[in-house]
């Protein structure tokens, strides 16, 4: 459930008409709902009721400071994958002991920054990385809490570009080698093993792969404890999928996911961490765009929008489906026609949808891309020297620009001409 609904023939974000925001900030822009963000965070928090837990929002999904602050004030921890994300989390008021650091390529500089600023744990992905964390921690006279990310060799049954838990993926340490690598961790100075980490992929629409992975983690917990390691924390990653279409998709709910976690791991007495990103932000955001032209082609018609692949790359990159709806509610029973919905960028990949059935639209009409809150704005670029689009946050009947549209001068003047040119 989200808070982008038609009311009196117009699309609203909570209590604000989307067209009113478009008139104030121009198009295209991203628009987020505070109520939806908080609702989704709380669903996870409540799903783990009764177990000691922390929901660490995977801020790679949407990392605007206003979004982070909203979630941090509700009690969320953060899952970060770079120094930039770490510093964003800190700037949003998240204490170091609620920040987990994931990612396969943490640099010495990033590790130093997190150790100096405070960190709940590093999720270690390789032996060379473990050696660097040990060295940096020893140099700083600190002890780095770590988990080791294990790769359980489970098929997440999701898009190949976002599956991470098969042995051919670059992530984690093969679970079969885990005991050996934990023994190494115990022998190195400056490290304190606190638990196990696993993350098998994103946009999972079934619980089964989670169940398979978590059972392997439960078994490993027993083995590692028998080896003398203090396994007290399990980081289970993110990945729970969201419905991208209104009609036929019903991925498992956070409460069902929580029940699975309790079933498979509840008996171990561990603190549970989860790292959801998409489910918190995805359906809490839309991208609003305007029709520039309706163009008749050979056997097909095009809706050419002012938003493009540089603003929302998911359709081009993952063949992702986003529902696209008119901001003015179509009259009931109005005849629909098929359109290819495209942006102005100079490549055919700049196509949001092919043969999409849409009600009649004309130049100047507004449309909204649903489910664009996660991996939308954060993956945007200035390709074709198109300005980064603004982000707007709604709360009840108020809205605020939380990242302004830069000016063309801002964009041009970021570059510099060498003196010798």
SS (H, E, C) 52-83: CEEEEEECCCCCCHHHHHHHHHCCCEEEECCH
71-100 burial: b if 16+ Cβ within 10 Å, else e: bbeeebbbbbbbbebbebbbebebeeebbb
Neighbouring residues of 332: CB distance < 8 A, sequence distance ≥ 6 = none
244 contacts: CB under 8 Å, gap ≥ 6: 320, 321, 322, 323, 370, 371
Based on its alpha-carbon atoms, the radius of gyration of the chain, rounded to whole angstroms, reads: 23
CA neighbours within 13 Å on the CB side: how many for 316?
18
| Binding-site member from 25, 58, 308, 353 for ligand LLP (CB under 6 A) | 58
Is residue 150 a contact point for ligand LLP (CB under 6 A)?
no
Which of residues 279 and 361 has its CB atom nearest to ligand LLP in the complex?
279
List the one residue from 172, 190, 254, 277 that touches ligand LLP (CB under 6 A): 277
- Backbone φ/ψ region at 333: left (φ over 0), alpha (ψ -120 to 50), beta: left
Q: Which is nearer to ligand LLP, 14 or 85 (CB)?
A: 85
Closer by beta carbon to ligand LLP, 56 or else 367: 56
Query: Which of residues 37, 61, 286, 291 is near ligand LLP by CB under 6 A?
Result: 61
**Whose Cβ is closer to ligand LLP: residue 160's or residue 337's?**
160
Whole-number minimum distance, CB 253 to ligand LLP, in Å?
14
Active site residue 270: no
Considering the rule CB under 6 A, would residue 310 count as an interface residue with ligand LLP?
no
Tell me which residue of 5, 11, 13 sits closest to 397, measured CA to CA: 13
Other beta carbons within 10 angstroms of residue 339's beta carbon come to 22
Q: For residues 165-224, which are near ligand LLP according to CB under 6 A?
A: 199, 202-203
Cβ atoms within 10 Å, residue 159 = 14
Query: Does residue 162 interact with ligand LLP by CB under 6 A?
Result: yes
Residue 91 · residue 83 · CB < 8 Å: no
**Minimum Å distance from CB 291 to ligand LLP?**
25
Q: Establish if 43 lies at the interface with ligand LLP (CB under 6 A).
A: no
Q: Tell me how far, at minimum, the Cβ of 103 lies from ligand LLP, in Å.
A: 7
Q: How far is the CB of 40 from ligand LLP (least distance, A)?
A: 11
Residue 239 sits in the site that holds ligand LLP (CB under 6 A): yes
Q: Residues 316 to 375: which contact ligand LLP by CB under 6 A?
A: 318, 375
Residues that bind ligand LLP (CB under 6 A): 58, 61, 79, 102, 162, 199, 202-203, 237-239, 275-279, 314, 318, 375
Active site residues: 346
């Amino acid at each position: 459930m989200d808070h982008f609904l038609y009311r009196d023939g117009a699309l609203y974000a909570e209590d604000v008409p989307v067209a009113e925001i478009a008139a104030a900030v121009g198009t295209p822009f991203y628009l987020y709902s505070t109520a939806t963000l908080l609702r989704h965070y709380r669903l996870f928090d409540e799903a783990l009721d009764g177990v000691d837990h922390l929901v660490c929002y995977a801020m790679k999904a949407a990392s605007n400071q206003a979004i982070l602050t909203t979630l941090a004030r509700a009690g969320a921890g953060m899952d970060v994958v770079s120094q930039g994300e770490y510093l964003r989390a800190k700037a949003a008021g998240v204490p170091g002991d609620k920040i987990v650091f994931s990612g396969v390529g943490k640099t010495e500089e990033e590790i130093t920054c997190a150790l100096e600023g405070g960190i709940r744990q590093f999720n270690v992905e390789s032996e060379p990385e473990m050696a660097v964390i040990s060295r940096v921690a020893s140099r700083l006279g600190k002890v780095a809490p770590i988990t080791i990310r294990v790769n359980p060799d489970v098929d997440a049954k999701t898009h190949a570009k976002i599956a991470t838990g098969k042995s051919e993926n670059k992530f984690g340490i093969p679970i079969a080698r885990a005991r050996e690598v934990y023994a190494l961790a115990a022998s190195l100075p400056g490290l304190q093993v606190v638990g196990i980490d696993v993350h098998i992929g994103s946009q999972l629409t079934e619980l089964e792969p989670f169940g398979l992975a978590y059972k392997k983690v439960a078994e490993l917990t027993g083995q590692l404890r028998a080896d003398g390691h203090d396994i007290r924390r399990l980081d289970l990653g993110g990945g729970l999928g969201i419905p991208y279409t209104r009609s036929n998709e019903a991925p498992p709910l956070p409460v069902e996911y929580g029940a699975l976690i309790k079933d498979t791991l509840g008996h171990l007495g561990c603190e549970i961490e989860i790292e959801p990103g998409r489910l918190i932000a995805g359906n809490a955001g839309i991208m609003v765009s305007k029709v520039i032209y309706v163009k008749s082609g050979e056997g097909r018609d095009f809706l050419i929008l002012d938003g493009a692949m540089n603003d929302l790359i998911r359709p081009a990159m993952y063949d992702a489906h986003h529902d696209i709806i008119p901001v003015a509610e179509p009259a009931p029973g109005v005849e629909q026609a098929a359109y290819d919905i495209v942006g102005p960028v100079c490549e055919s990949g700049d196509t949001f949808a092919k043969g999409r059935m849409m009600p009649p639209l004309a130049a100047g009409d507004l449309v909204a891309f649903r489910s664009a809150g996660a991996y939308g704005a954060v993956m945007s670029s200035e390709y074709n020297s198109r300005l980064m689009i603004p982000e707007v946050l709604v709360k009840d009947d108020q809205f605020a620009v939380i990242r302004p549209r830069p000016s063309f001068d801002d964009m041009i003047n970021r570059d510099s001409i060498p003196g010798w040119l």
